[in-house]
Structure 1
Amino acid sequence: MNEKLQLGKNVYKNYVYTLLQNIDLTRGIWMIYLASKGMSLTQLGLLETIFHITSFTMEVPTGAVADIFGRKTSRIVGRIMSLISVIILLLANSFLWFSISFIFTALSYNLESGAGDALIYDSLKEIGEEETYMKVSGRKELFFQVAGVISFFVGGYLATKSYNIAFLLTILIAVITIGQSFTFKEPNVGRVKSVHGEENIFINQLKTSLKIILSKPKIGFLIIFTQILMAFCTCIFYYLQNYLKGDGYSEAIIGVIYAVCSLASALVSTQVHAIEKKIKEKGILLLTPLFTVGCIWGIALSKYHYVFFVLLMITEGIIYVSISDYINKMIPSENRATILSFASMIFSFFMITLFPIVGLLGDKFSLSIAFKFLGSVGIVFIVINSYILLKREDNKRHKKTTEKVTKSEI
């Protein structure tokens, strides 16, 4: 088969892969499941911290693995790690084994996080269609959210009958996903070759990637901007399960609420490229933090918290699709997976800090207080982010004015 055709098929195979990978029937119930096994909110916060400490330390090395040994290889190993984690979570009954499960889950995310996007972007780049990436990413987000709809509806319903059935079906789907991950074609663009010897290839890859980030401060800014907002959204996503349960909602109703979020996000994600054309990069960077933090306060203060949760998840989808495109356009293929893994490492850093604090506040006071704390941190971020962006715009205008004056003098 023609290599260009195979690379083009990667895009469509990735839609199927995204759907299968994210049909996780435990996704909307795992915190309730672990609480039913005796875990407190503080312990749940610690488990998530263990996940992110693992992710923080292993993100960049696994990104280098994808750049050096191939995105496809990294993806396959990641799916195997995910399967192991679900099996352990089903069979475990102690904090220690739950922790081990979370370590494997983190490694599965690490091996996929930079590799997956790099595989698709570089496939498009090799066939000269990288400008379509935002549209492709938006469609991928659609499949991700459809998987969420299935996961939350079915998982929520099964949780009212038996947690074990939800876990066993998730294991079966994971096995199928491993098989499907073997069907991708590895792009030639971006494969790193050893120059200084095999023993130095990892160190050289990390150094080169770090130099690229430091030489282009905008990459670093976009990474930090995105990951802070994603950390806010993720904290709300997980703790809201227990918040709703405490409010008297059943697992089935919680599943419906989360499914509606996924459906709404799916519909909007395919139109992110059109939204971005209207409000541009500046609009995305200024408005999405305001919407994110506004929704967090809506969840904390309003009895219609589920409405604000839906809006929050829509905003998260817009952030992911648009800024992922901005970052990918700025980095070379040879360092793509490694630099994208830097982004995930920053996300883990913020989660290590925020997630256990939210859990502790939830235990000591209430989750409503914890959400208000998160909203307060968000206001500080809005002020800092707005100052940086407006300062940057002011510097640009000043530079243009200076250049015009210089030219007129000449």
Structure 2
Amino acid sequence: MNKNAATQLHIYSAFFVLAGFVLNRGVFLLFLAEKGMPVTEIALYQALFNIATVVLELPTGLIGDFFGKKFSIQVGVLLLFFHTAGMLLLSGPFLVVLSLVEALAYSLQSGSEQALLYEIARNAGQGERFLTINARLLAAQSIATGMAIVLGSFIAQVSWSALYVCVSVFYLLQLFLLYPIERTEATRSESSEKGRFDVAKIFRRETWCIGESAFAVLLLLIGTSMLDGFYGSYYNLNQLVFDAFDAPVSIIGIFFGASYAVNATAYIAADFFSLRFGKRNTMLGSMLIEAGLFMILPWFASNPLCLFGLSMVLCFLPEVVYITSENLIQDAIADDLRATILSVASLVRALFSAVFFSIFGHVLGLYPIQIALGIIGAIAIAITAVVSLKMVGIQVSKN
């Protein structure tokens, strides 16, 4: 292994884990209320953030591939620093505008972070172990996020200003860790005489490192991202489901806090099962088990404790699907459009997450909890069937 490349991997791994240590993640909406924003403006903030994230995903992915993935991540972190400072210094309608800055920042990072990790690992001679590396880093990041949420809530009780100053310091630390990272690719302007960016190349066979039709694999990417959007919507829906049983806020908080530990376990489990059964089979098996659990979900609606336990499992398996599908997609794409293609996945995920959550909320409002969960389960089975059939019909990689 190249010593410098190994050092790069270690430094970037530290950045990757630190990126999950966001102290204000669990209380940022409360901070907006503390700043005097009414509920309508807080809702507008979140709505603008979601819309802007969907709109910006593809353009920011192109930026990562055109100017370099490291550059895209650096600009994203810098924007988050300015966003945090703005949250402290500004008030009123200006806070709502900051949602667009936050959306742009996260969009700049979303495709490039995983793409850069893959390329750094490969350059360090660890390409075959990427799933293991990714699983361990995502597990560590999940634990860091859970710890940050708890610590951030305690700091907020003492001082909101202190909390946001601490958040700003951590963003500066992220920039410090990114500085020595070397660019893993030539930018588009350096690698092309005319510096043209050909988006249509996404649909061409040479962009993908496999023998299958590029369009077929792109459909697979969209399908798994849609499924991930569904899973994410159900995860958030648990707040309303538990509330329907008049569960105390503390119990709901325990569920979501524990979910980060569950995520960490899922990433390690995904690596364990992939080594024994292959990534493709692990992903398919997890999808089918998840669909089966959604099928029996309505029968647990009368027992809140059992529903709590089942919902935790329903949060575990999607993370196995996510990391294995993301790894398969990484293996199937070439470097020059890696960030763009991963941004397409994030775009589809965010779009369908918003759509499904709206549908789920409407269903919960119209029907009793047991019928509502039955409808949600039927949707899960239908989506899983479509994606599974596509997965069976395509050989994404030898694993």
Aligned to 2:328: 326
> Of the candidates 190, 201, 223, which is equivalent to residue 208 of structure 1?
201
What is the CA–CA distance in structure 1 between the aligned matches of 2:268 and 2:186, rounded to whole Å? 27
What is the CA–CA distance in structure 2 between the aligned matches of 1:306 and 1:243, rounded to whole Å? 10
Aligned to 1:60: 58
Give yes or no for contact 1:114–1:339 (8 Å, CA) kept in 2.
yes
1:73-104 Cα distance to aligned partner (Å, 9 max, x none): 1111010112223333445554x444322222
Give yes or no for contact 2:110–2:346 (8 Å, CA) kept in 1.
yes
- Within-5 A mapping of 1:350-369: 350-356=352-358
Aligned to 1:135: 132
What is the CA–CA distance in structure 2 between the aligned matches of 1:188 and 1:392, rounded to whole Å? 30
1:351-373 Cα distance to aligned partner (Å, 9 max, x none): 342345556778x679x96x975
CA RMSD of aligned residues (A): 3.7
Give yes or no for contact 1:152–1:256 (8 Å, CA) kept in 2.
no
Q: Which runs of 5+ in 1 are unaligned?
A: 397-410
Give yes or no for contact 2:6–2:124 (8 Å, CA) kept in 1.
yes
How far the C-alpha of 1:157 sits from its partner, in A, is 3.4
What is the CA–CA distance in structure 2 between the aligned matches of 1:244 and 1:159, rounded to whole Å? 26
Counterpart AA for 2:317: T
Aligned to 1:272: 270
Aligned to 2:248: 248
> Of the candidates 10, 19, 22, which is equivalent to residue 21 of structure 1?
19
What is the CA–CA distance in structure 1 between the aligned matches of 2:130 and 2:9, rounded to whole Å? 10
When residues 86 and 255 of structure 1 are mapped into structure 2, their CA distance, relative to the original with a 3 A threshold, is farther
What is the CA–CA distance in structure 1 between the aligned matches of 2:303 and 2:373, rounded to whole Å? 15
When residues 192 and 295 of structure 1 are mapped into structure 2, their CA distance, relative to the original with a 3 A threshold, is farther
Report the TM-score, using the length of structure 2 for normalisation: 0.80
Aligned to 1:230: 228
Aligned to 1:303: 304
Corresponding position: 1:376 with 2:375:
yes
What is the CA–CA distance in structure 1 between the aligned matches of 2:109 and 2:387, rounded to whole Å? 32
Q: Which runs of 5+ in 2 are unaligned?
A: none
When residues 175 and 243 of structure 1 are mapped into structure 2, their CA distance, relative to the original with a 3 A threshold, is farther
Give yes or no for contact 1:71–1:115 (8 Å, CA) kept in 2.
yes
How far the C-alpha of 1:395 sits from its partner, in A, is 9.7
When residues 223 and 387 of structure 1 are mapped into structure 2, their CA distance, relative to the original with a 3 A threshold, is closer
Give yes or no for contact 2:203–2:215 (8 Å, CA) kept in 1.
no
Corresponding position: 1:111 with 2:87:
no
Report the TM-score, using the length of structure 1 for normalisation: 0.78
How far the C-alpha of 1:107 sits from its partner, in A, is 1.4
Tell me which moved more, 236-245 or 110-119: 236-245
How far the C-alpha of 1:317 sits from its partner, in A, is 2.4
When residues 242 and 390 of structure 1 are mapped into structure 2, their CA distance, relative to the original with a 3 A threshold, is closer
Aligned length: 383
Aligned to 2:122: 125
Aligned to 2:258: 260
What is the CA–CA distance in structure 1 between the aligned matches of 2:156 and 2:303, rounded to whole Å? 27
When residues 273 and 104 of structure 1 are mapped into structure 2, their CA distance, relative to the original with a 3 A threshold, is same
> Of the candidates 150, 153, 163, which is equivalent to residue 150 of structure 2?
153
Aligned to 2:73: 75
Give yes or no for contact 2:65–2:188 (8 Å, CA) kept in 1.
yes
Identical pairs, percent:
21
What is the CA–CA distance in structure 1 between the aligned matches of 2:61 and 2:177, rounded to whole Å? 21
1:212-240 Cα distance to aligned partner (Å, 9 max, x none): 57942443233223322332343355565
Aligned to 1:407: none
Give yes or no for contact 2:76–2:108 (8 Å, CA) kept in 1.
yes
Tell me which moved more, 152-161 or 312-321: 152-161
Corresponding position: 1:345 with 2:362:
no
What is the CA–CA distance in structure 1 between the aligned matches of 2:371 and 2:12, rounded to whole Å? 38
Give yes or no for contact 1:60–1:345 (8 Å, CA) kept in 2.
yes
When residues 180 and 148 of structure 1 are mapped into structure 2, their CA distance, relative to the original with a 3 A threshold, is same
Aligned to 2:86: 88
Counterpart AA for 2:200: K
